[in-house]
């Protein structure tokens, strides 16, 4: 293992709807011996709602500059935050005029282009590595999982760190901890969860999320695993609303990959926030041996 300290960018839902993801991310890194230092006074990455890329770059210049002062690379558990941080990092490294302009707006936007930005999945598999994780496993997580990746892990190409059509990083971790990947879910791995339209076209968003839940259920999954809080909000948080609106029953547990990994590392379920997922996770806990 080559890293022992990283700057942590939690993202806006980390205090609320994705507190379980935040808790499990911190607990897992601690167990793996990597210290996380929260990016001090971080601001929102712009999410999907700030459409002007130049504003996104400026917002993230501040976040990047804060971590750069500490001389630390940034890791985030949110796919959208990752996408915004990474594309900003690339743009700022390549565009001197932009950097000069930002410096002129405020000295806190003065970023020197010296750090890297990463998604937790990338750090687990490619930086910490499977051997290192394997050496720390304490339990077998004997569950059938539908690994759902969503949008910004395999695309767009310039920020992607996994295959666009059949990403595998989460699959690798699940297999490592003794889980099984359900067949017939592959084509759903990267289809958008509908989250970006939740507040303006809830009907479309529900339809999108329902498809993912249905395919996972039909594939015989015990749970869906995730690596993004917006996917968590749609598939877990809103699942009961989807059932009610569409007059169906699904009852599919949805967990963050950090929660599954934490279980295998022997971390106590409540410390991983597993009592906070909207759909009950007790059946999964029963399969940890």
Partner 1 sequence: MPIKTWELDPNFKNEIMGEAGGERLASCFQCSTCTLGCPITEIVPSYNPRKIIQMSLLGMRKEVLSNPDLWVCLICQTCTARCPQDVRIADVLSAIRRIAEREEEAGNLKIDSHRPLFDKAFQHQLEKYGRLYDIGLAKEYYPKKEGSFIKGMKAMMKDYKDFGMRMFKKGKMGPKAMLAPKVKGRAVIKKIFKEMGEE
Binding site for partner 1 (CB under 8 A): 12-13, 15-17, 19-20, 41-44, 46-55, 58-59, 62, 105-106, 108-109, 151-152, 154-157, 160, 164, 190-192, 194, 196-197, 199-202, 204, 207-208, 237-238, 240-241, 244, 275-278
Q: Using CA atoms, how far apart are residues 274 and 255, in angstroms rounded to an integer?
A: 8
Q: Using CA atoms, how far apart are residues 111 and 99, in angstroms rounded to an integer?
A: 7
Give min distance, CB of 54 to partner 1, in A: 5
From residue 267, alpha-carbon distances to 30, 129, 156, 191 in Å are: 10, 19, 34, 31
Beta strand 74-76 pairing with 144-147: unpaired
Write out the two tokens for 103.
């410096």
In this complex, which beta carbon is closest to partner 1, that of residue 60 or of residue 177? 60
129-160 burial, b for 16+ CB within 10 Å, e for fewer?
Answer: eeeebeeebeeebebbbbbbbbbbbbbeeebe
Write out the two tokens for 8.
């942590």
Give min distance, CB of 156 to partner 1, in A: 4
From residue 3, alpha-carbon distances to 75, 127, 129, 139, 272 in Å are: 12, 7, 11, 24, 23
Give min distance, CB of 4 to partner 1, in A: 28
What contacts 25, CB < 8 A, 6 or more positions away?
Answer: 8, 10, 36, 77, 120, 256, 258
Give min distance, CB of 78 to partner 1, in A: 12
In this complex, which beta carbon is closest to partner 1, that of residue 11 or of residue 179? 11
In this complex, which beta carbon is closest to partner 1, that of residue 276 or of residue 287? 276
Give min distance, CB of 66 to partner 1, in A: 9
Q: Using CA atoms, how far apart are residues 146 and 171, in angstroms rounded to an integer?
A: 9
Give min distance, CB of 36 to partner 1, in A: 18
In this complex, which beta carbon is closest to partner 1, that of residue 98 or of residue 130? 98
Radius of gyration of the chain (CA): 19
Give min distance, CB of 43 to partner 1, in A: 4
In this complex, which beta carbon is closest to partner 1, that of residue 137 or of residue 240? 240
In this complex, which beta carbon is closest to partner 1, that of residue 42 or of residue 124? 42
In this complex, which beta carbon is closest to partner 1, that of residue 175 or of residue 243? 243
């Amino acid at each position: 293992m080559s890293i022992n300290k990283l700057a942590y960018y939690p993202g806006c839902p980390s205090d609320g709807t994705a507190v379980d993801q935040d808790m499990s991310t911190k607990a897992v890194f601690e167990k793996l011996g990597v210290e996380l230092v929260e990016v001090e006074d971080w601001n929102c990455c712009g999410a999907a709602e700030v459409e002007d890329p130049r504003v996104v770059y400026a917002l993230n210049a501040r976040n990047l500059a804060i971590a750069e002062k500490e001389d630390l690379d940034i890791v985030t558990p949110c796919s959208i935050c990752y996408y915004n941080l990474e594309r900003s990092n690339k743009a700022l490294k390549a565009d001197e005029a932009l950097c000069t302009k930002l410096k002129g707006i405020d000295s806190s936007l003065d970023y020197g282009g010296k750090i890297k930005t990463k998604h937790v999945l990338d750090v687990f598999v490619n930086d910490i590595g499977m051997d290192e994780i394997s050496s720390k496993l304490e339990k077998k997580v004997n569950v059938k999982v539908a690994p759902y990746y969503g949008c910004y892990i395999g695309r767009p190409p310039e920020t992607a760190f996994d295959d666009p059509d059949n990403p595998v990083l989460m699959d690798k971790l699940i297999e490592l901890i003794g889980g099984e990947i359900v067949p017939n879910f592959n084509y759903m791995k990267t289809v958008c969860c509908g989250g970006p339209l939740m507040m303006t076209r809830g009907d479309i968003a529900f339809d999108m999320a329902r498809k993912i839940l249905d395919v996972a259920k039909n594939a015989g999954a015990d749970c869906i695993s995730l690596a993004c809080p917006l996917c968590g909000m749609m598939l877990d948080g809103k699942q009961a609303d989807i059932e009610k609106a569409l007059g169906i029953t699904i009852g599919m547990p949805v967990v963050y990959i950090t929660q599954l990994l934490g279980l295998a590392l022997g971390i106590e379920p409540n410390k991983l926030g597993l009592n906070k997922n909207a759909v009950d996770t007790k059946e999964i806990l029963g399969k940890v041996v």
